[in-house]
């Protein structure tokens, strides 16, 4: 099987790593990949957003299946274009991926289908949005409608912060065209959990639950990021509650999109806020989470390639997912000042010391290879991941590994997994 993974982050490195372990014979390509994927696959210098370039490469190379990592090429119609020329692809079409790429579409869809979510209003006009904020005091959440790499969500504790957030999105265009429309949303409290599921157009099979840490600093403080670390499985939902999430959230999305003529194939990711026995959807993503993929995939015992193939062929009913009975923790090491302006181009030192550590792996996110040296090349640089018999051991191992790795300005949260320890106690 010739496989092409699209993307260049930690999620894509984890996908390549898991596909490389498949018992099936595979030849792996990544477009464009990073300094870590180069060790397991052939990096092809085509950007993830270059739909034409990827389609041309896939046809020329005779790729048997394309696995799309990030949301941008999905929203741009990469899967539609691949389907049109007969190349099988794992991921939703542009229409179906609107469940992530337009927050207003997603919120309206939830309202129409009775999917539990916070109250909201959506605006394209700055003056109306301002008056709405005046009538709805903080705490409140202001979100850019379009794709903004996880950073377009501003949780505001004061009225002043809320007005500043609105101005940043609608007047200063901090998130570009993603902010032409804003969503203003009720502030929800509780525990967050990521529920990812494989979908084959009709059926839904949830994966183990995971918990991301989206805020930049310890104790969930500071600006939102793409995700600073993660652990799985997260014990935030009981089995009966997870079944309710499948019945009341995931299956209605898949059924509703199919009825709209936009059948959903790929990973459907629901970000939930959970309080006692109540849950509410914060957002949907149309793909694996990043860093969620880095803790979920190492624990997947079933052959990932078989699962992805079953989704693409509408045969998920024939797959029984099996999971390794361990806990995984991923600590994201980021460039200094991420998610603000940061410097890249530093050599990463110490990665080779991880080779001697069992059940530890550094997934590369923003790196490149330069004459054998690994150089920082993005905001999130590495997802240092460890898996062990319980959460506490996995945390110890992951931080032991992080301690081995250095570059100027590197920063990471010290408390990834701590929320899970509190829950266990
Ligand atoms: P989103 O990308 O919409 O999931 O938002 C990013 C993060 O912002 C979430 O993971 C939450 O931590 C926070 N957030 C988003 N919406 C809300 C909300 N309505 N209430 C409280 N926190 C929120
Ligand atoms: N970790 C959150 C996301 O992938 O959107």
Q: What is the mean pLDDT of each run of 10 residues along the chain (425 residues)?
A: 98 98 97 97 98 98 98 97 98 96 91 94 88 90 80 86 88 78 91 96 98 94 92 95 97 97 97 94 96 98 98 97 98 95 96 94 96 95 98 98 97 96 74
pLDDT confidence of residue 201: 97
Give the end of a domain, one of 318, 353, 385: 318
112: exposed, middle or buried (C-beta count within 10 Å: 0-12, 13-18, 19+)? exposed
Please state the domain count of the chain: 4
Residues 216 and 288 in one domain: yes
| Distance from the alpha carbon of residue 183 to the mean position of ligand 2, in angstroms | 19
Name the token pair of 319: 């797959």
Name the token pair of 175: 């998130």
Q: Is 224 in the pocket of ligand 2 (CB under 6 A)?
A: no
Q: Evaluate whether residue 312 is within a structural domain.
A: yes
- Residue carrying the six token digits 């003529």: 261
pLDDT confidence of residue 290: 96
| Distance from the alpha carbon of residue 133 to the mean position of ligand 1, in angstroms | 17
Distances (CA, A) of 44 to 4, 58, 366: 9, 11, 16
pLDDT confidence of residue 223: 87
Phi-psi category of 114—alpha, beta or left, where left has phi over 0 and alpha has psi -120 to 50? left
Q: Evaluate whether residue 16 is within a structural domain.
A: yes
pLDDT confidence of residue 232: 98
Domain span at residue 129 reads 125-180
| Distance from the alpha carbon of residue 179 to the mean position of ligand 2, in angstroms | 19
Q: Evaluate whether residue 110 is within a structural domain.
A: no
Residues 353 and 282 in one domain: no
Residues 6+ apart with CB under 8 A from 164: 156
Name the token pair of 185: 């949303």
In 3D, which of 270, 321, 279, 240 has the Cα closest to residue 116?
A: 279
Q: Evaluate whether residue 106 is within a structural domain.
A: no
In 3D, which of 397, 425, 407 has the Cα closest to residue 416?
A: 397
Residues 260 and 209 in one domain: yes
Beta strands in 218-323 (DSSP E): 221-224, 229-232, 265-275, 278-285
pLDDT confidence of residue 150: 62
Q: Residue 271 CA: which ligand 1 atom is closest?
A: 4
pLDDT confidence of residue 103: 84
Q: Assign 268 to helix, strand or coil.
A: strand
Q: How far apart are CA 96 and CA 75, in angstroms?
A: 9
Residues 359 and 398 in one domain: yes
Residues 50 and 152 in one domain: no
| Distance from the alpha carbon of residue 237 to the mean position of ligand 2, in angstroms | 19
| Distance from the alpha carbon of residue 36 to the mean position of ligand 2, in angstroms | 20
pLDDT confidence of residue 152: 80
Sheet-wide strand order for 229-232: 211-212, 229-232, 327-334, 380-388, 360-364
In 3D, which of 372, 353, 371 has the Cα closest to residue 361?
A: 353
Beta strands in 169-298 (DSSP E): 182-186, 191-200, 204-206, 211-212, 215-217, 221-224, 229-232, 265-275, 278-285
CATH number at 39 reads: 3.40.50.20
Return the best residue to mutate from 147, 224, 269, 295 for the ligand 2 pocket (most ligand atoms within 8 A of CB): 269
Return the best residue to mutate from 210, 285, 288, 383 for the ligand 2 pocket (most ligand atoms within 8 A of CB): 285
**pTM over the 0.85 mark:** yes
Four-residue CA torsion sign, 231, 235, 236, 239 = positive
């Amino acid at each position: 099987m010739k496989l092409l993974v699209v993307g260049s982050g930690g999620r894509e490195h984890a996908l390549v790593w898991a596909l490389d372990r498949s018992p099936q014979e595979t030849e792996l390509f990544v477009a464009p990949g990073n300094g870590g994927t180069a060790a397991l696959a052939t990096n092809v210098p085509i950007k993830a957003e270059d739909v034409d370039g990827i389609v041309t490469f896939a046809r020329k190379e005779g790729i048997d299946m394309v696995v799309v990592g990030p949301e941008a090429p999905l929203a741009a119609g990469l899967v539609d274009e691949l389907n049109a020329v007969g190349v099988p692809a794992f991921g939703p079409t542009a229409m179906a991926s609107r469940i992530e790429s337009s927050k207003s579409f997603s919120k309206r869809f939830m309202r129409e289908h009775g999917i539990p979510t916070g109250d909201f209003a959506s605006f394209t006009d700055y003056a109306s949005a301002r008056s709405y904020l005046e009538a709805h005091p903080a705490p409140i959440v202001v979100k850019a409608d379009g794709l903004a790499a996880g950073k377009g969500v501003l949780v505001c504790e004061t009225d002043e912060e809320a007005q500043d957030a609105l101005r940043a999105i609608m007047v200063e265009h901090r998130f570009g065209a993603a902010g032409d429309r804003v969503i203003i949303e009720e502030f929800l409290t509780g525990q967050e959990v990521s529920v990812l599921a494989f979908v084959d157009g009709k059926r839904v099979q949830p994966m183990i639950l995971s918990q991301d840490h989206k805020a930049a600093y310890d104790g969930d403080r500071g600006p939102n990021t793409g995700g600073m670390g993660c652990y799985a499985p997260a014990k935030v939902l009981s089995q009966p509650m997870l079944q309710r999430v499948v019945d009341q959230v995931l299956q209605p999305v898949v059924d509703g999109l199919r009825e709209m003529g936009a059948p959903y194939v790929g990973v459907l990711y629901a970000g939930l806020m959970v309080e006692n026995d109540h849950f509410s959807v914060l957002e949907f993503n149309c793909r694996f989470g990043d860093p969620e993929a880095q803790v979920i995939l190492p624990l997947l015992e079933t052959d990932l390639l078989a699962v992805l193939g079953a989704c693409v062929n509408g045969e998920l009913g024939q797959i029984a997912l099996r999971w390794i009975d361990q806990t995984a923790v991923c600590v994201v090491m980021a460039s200094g000042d991420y998610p603000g302006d940061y410097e890249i181009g530093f050599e990463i030192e110490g990665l080779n010391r991880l080779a001697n550590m069992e059940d530890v792996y550094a997934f590369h996110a923003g790196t490149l290879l330069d004459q054998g040296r690994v150089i920082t090349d993005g905001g999130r640089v590495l997802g240092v991941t460890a898996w062990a018999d319980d959460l506490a051991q996995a945390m110890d191992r992951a931080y032991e590994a992080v301690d081995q790795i250095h570059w100027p300005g590197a920063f990471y949260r010290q408390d990834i997994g701590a929320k899970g320890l509190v829950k266990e106690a």
